[in-house]
Amino acid sequence: PTIAGRKSPGMTLIAVPIMVQDAHAALSEAALAKDLGSDLVEYRLDEFISEAESIEAAISLVADSPIPCIATCRPTWEGGHYEGDESLRQELFERLIAADHPPRHIDIELAAFDRTPALESVLRDALANAGDLAPSFIVSMHDFETRPADLTRRILRLRELDIARVHKIAYRARSLRDNLELFELLATRDKPTIAVGMGEFGLMSRVLAPKFGGYLTFASLRESSTTAPGQPTIRDLLDLYRFRSINAKTQVFGVVGWPVTHSLSPHVHNAAFEHANIDAVYLPLPIAAGEDPDQSYASLKATLLDLLANPSLHLQGLSVTLPHKENLVTLAREQSPVAPASSRSHESVLAGTPSAEGDSSAATKSQRPWHLDALSARANAANTLTVHPDHISITNTDAPAALSCLHEAGVELASSNITVLGAGGVGRTLAIALADAGAQVSLANRTIERAHAVANAAASLDPPCPGSVHPIAMDEIPNNDAAYINATSLGLSSGPNADKNPLEESQIPELPPGTVLFDTVYSKGQTPLLEAGNKRGLRCIKGLDMFVRQAAAQFQGWTKHPAPAGLMGRVATERLASEPDA
């Protein structure tokens, strides 16, 4: 069926929902939506319709709309706010159909046709008497809690309803994997279809709607005016994700972690893709992790293997962050029956043929061989996945980024004593990479056992590290190392210890001139460590420098284009500066 007024047949529209309380205010919101680039607005009349006179006002609102619209009056039984009776709603629909300036669409819930069996014939009669501009019906189903167990039955019922011109299916995505089902619904649509995953796991379905031929996607005017959980703002949709350029072939990248909502990476990578004119989009990709590490690993594995097995998604690369960096290495090892080669300098190849004990279905084993690089294997942490035509590579760009910052600050890695504060994921990776580069590393950690565990792991590596890792307590920090690296979370402006310095304030004045202080934590403003270091006139390295270098290395690895590192740095700095104070 053709839909009147679509700009071009393949284009996915943007609709901004407006919860109408007052017609005048709704019209100015609609004008703003139009200015910001929306194609449609959806007037949510749930709280506006309460009596016959309000129907008149709704008809005037639609007639005065500066932009084509959807009229919706969502009842409480479908997650909306309309509490009136069905006969008034039916009168609203009939009057809107007969209006001189009708809305482009009227949205009616699938359940309304079950509750009122005569509804379809009433609407059909009204349409028969309407003019050429008669609205077409979006018939919708919503579940704000979960994926409905009877989804297939409901879709079959939708398909039986002849009066539906557009199908809308919206439910709360339980994980990223639910997006794949929504894409499948779009691929197998028999009419123009809106398929929306609500909640933070569903953002992908909203942003990638054009890739799979979705009829429209919803976007809010501002953060505070979303009408469904997970709705992006129209600015983010158009400027951050470049929605208008997304098409069936657009490559998909993203950051996997938990949480990832406030990650800088989508801002930095999308800006780089735009600058380099690459047809790609980069998304936050949350994969839930809880107390149970086995469960977190199971979620990562199931999600990544499903996303990678979907050829039409064109997933080309992932940044992987807390708490999945170790899980990524475990997954890479599990994808192969062969242990990683032990060379420090070359990527180790993990054979990709199915192991004797494992099965090779998409959910357990991917089709392509996985290659795990030596650093990730030795540090047991990786932050980058790259899809190549014939294999998947797992690499670590954190440590090379940190080492290049130190090198540039004049630290001779092969002959230096370096203190690393923190033996968590980043601390362990840096300690091992530094020892591999020949440094003598003192590794301090609040929980000393963790520092011992890293030192033991470093000592048992084969081939051995040219340098070494010595565990020390936080109150045993040496006074004359070439560099001090903070890899704890102390000083993080969004964390509980924003004002804490991992080094004793009294120790910093003792450090010789030329000492390098490196804070891997990047924060809005200066961290306490670097503030003290700058006062003392020491050489300071900001965590943002490391972040931008690791992101630039990912970009280069994924695209084979030189990374616009200057632009990436500016975007990251601006984004950090715009974050609200903790």
Q: Which amino acid is at 497?
A: N
Question: Of 231 and 501, which has the nearer Cβ to ligand NAP?
Answer: 501
Judge contact between 456 and 423, C-beta under 8 A.
Answer: no
Burial class (CB in 10 A: 0-12, 13-18, 19+), 338: middle
| CB 452, min distance to ligand NAP, A | 11
Active-site residue (options: 101, 105, 167, 168): 168
Note if the bond before 259 is cis, omega within 30 degrees.
yes
Question: Of 32 and 453, which has the nearer Cβ to ligand NAP?
Answer: 453
Which residues, other chains included, contact 128 with Cβ-Cβ below 8 Å and sequence gap of 6+? none
Q: Which two tokens stand for residue 274?
A: 């735009």
Q: Return d(Cα 551, Cα 564) in angstroms, integer.
A: 10
Judge contact between 285 and 256, C-beta under 8 A.
Answer: yes
165 sits in which H/E element: strand 164-172
Question: Of 227 and 523, which has the nearer Cβ to ligand NAP?
Answer: 523
Residues within the interface to ligand NAP (CB under 6 A): 322, 398, 422-427, 445-447, 450, 487-490, 492, 497, 520-522, 543, 546-547, 550
Question: Of 226 and 404, which has the nearer Cβ to ligand NAP?
Answer: 404
Answer yes or no: 452 catalytic. no
The closest residue (CB) to ligand NAP is 424
Active-site residue (options: 105, 142, 301, 524): 142
Nearest CA among 425, 337, 434, 433 for reference residue 383: 425
| CB 566, min distance to ligand NAP, A | 17
Question: Of 84 and 400, which has the nearer Cβ to ligand NAP?
Answer: 400
206 sits in which H/E element: helix 203-207
Burial class (CB in 10 A: 0-12, 13-18, 19+), 34: middle
Q: Which three-class secondary structure string do you get for 231-289? A: CCEHHHHHHHCCHHHCCCCCEEEEEEECCCCCCCHHHHHHHHHHHCCCCEEEEEEECCC
Answer yes or no: 249 catalytic. no
| CB 427, min distance to ligand NAP, A | 5
Question: Of 210 and 424, which has the nearer Cβ to ligand NAP?
Answer: 424
Judge contact between 17 and 194, C-beta under 8 A.
Answer: no
Q: Which single residue is written with the structure tokens 């998909």?
A: 252
| CB 181, min distance to ligand NAP, A | 32
Angle ∠(371,297,377) on CA atoms, nearest 5: 30
Q: Return d(Cα 121, Cα 140) in angstroms, integer.
A: 18
| CB 285, min distance to ligand NAP, A | 17
| CB 406, min distance to ligand NAP, A | 13
Question: Of 49 and 490, which has the nearer Cβ to ligand NAP?
Answer: 490
CA dihedral 518, 523, 524, 529 (to 10 degrees): -40
Question: Of 230 and 427, which has the nearer Cβ to ligand NAP?
Answer: 427
Query: How many C-beta atoms surround the C-beta of residue 407 within 10 A?
Result: 12
435 sits in which H/E element: helix 425-436
| CB 282, min distance to ligand NAP, A | 16
Question: Of 6 and 446, which has the nearer Cβ to ligand NAP?
Answer: 446
| CB 322, min distance to ligand NAP, A | 5
| CB 81, min distance to ligand NAP, A | 41
Beta sheet of 251-257, edge-to-edge order: 280-286, 251-257, 315-320, 384-387, 392-395, 370-372, 348-349
Burial class (CB in 10 A: 0-12, 13-18, 19+), 536: middle
Provide the annotated active-site residues: 142, 168
